[in-house]
Amino acid sequence: MALLKWLLLIVAIYGGALTLVYIGQRSLQYHPDKTRTPPAMAGLPSAEELELKTSDGETVVVWHVPPRGDKPVVLYFHGNGGSLAWRADRFKSFTADGTGLVALSYRGYGGSTGSPTEAGLIADAQAAYAFTAARYPAERIAVWGESLGTGVATALAASQRISRLILESPFTSAADVGAKVYWFLPVQLLMKDAFRSDERIGKITVPVLILHGSADTVVPFGFGRKLFALANEPKRFVRLEGGGHSNLDQFGAQNAIRAFLYGG
């Protein structure tokens, strides 16, 4: 009888944990900085801040740095944490040679309305793409996704005309990453926003660059390799030896991306 009571207690505790994780999963998945910081104040005076309407009625912020001449324009999707302001130094460095930029602040992040969900972030990406495609031909639009943004970038690239796709620290799916962290929970069954890049990347036929740090402890290196194996040719994989998850510029990420954009 005592053993049965212990088993029932364990089941009750486990069931309670499942319920809490299911209800609160999006607060675990998304970590927005909601502060709206103008690009000039963040250190990117070359950028214009604009507001776009999404198909479901939200208002999202983008930073736009026009390209010089006929240089490409990078449509940038950031990761699950922070805001565009956190990445201003990266944008300043990358656009210094005249490369254009359209960087999206997802719903719920940095001045954008709403709350993040997978469907919502993809709708935001579609709005940012429409803005970009109205100004530049598809042959000049490259899409760059960072971490969680690789799921957004892959979804967009599977449905829209672009020239190239850059995936930095990507996963096969967000559910796979979650299952590795919460190995004791049925994450694959519980997760609402799975971002199944493994199911979408096969629809992409433009050149793909995947970069991954060998010491990434957030999205393990092996996930990037698995996604690369699923991608169509032409494709290129860059292993950044010693690189972690959020420090890849220190290991040559921008150089590899410029070579991809300009080197064929």
CATH number, domain containing residue 236: 3.40.50.1820
Biggest distance spanned by C-alpha atoms of the chain: 79
Half-sphere exposure of 217 (CA within 13 A, CB side): 1
DSSP 65-121: EPPSTT--EEEEE--SEE-GGGGHHHHHHHHTTS-EEEEEE-TTSTT--S---HHHH
Per this entry, what is the length of the chain?
264
Residue 184 pLDDT = 85
Residue 196 pLDDT = 98
Range of the domain at 189: 2-262
Give per-10-residue mean pLDDT for the chain (264 aa).
70 74 87 97 97 98 97 98 97 97 98 98 98 98 98 98 98 95 87 97 98 97 98 98 97 96 82
Nearest to 167, CA basis, from 135, 144, 184: 144
The pair of three-digit structure tokens given for residue 109, joined into one six-digit string: 């992040």
Domain count along the chain: 1
Residue 264 pLDDT = 57
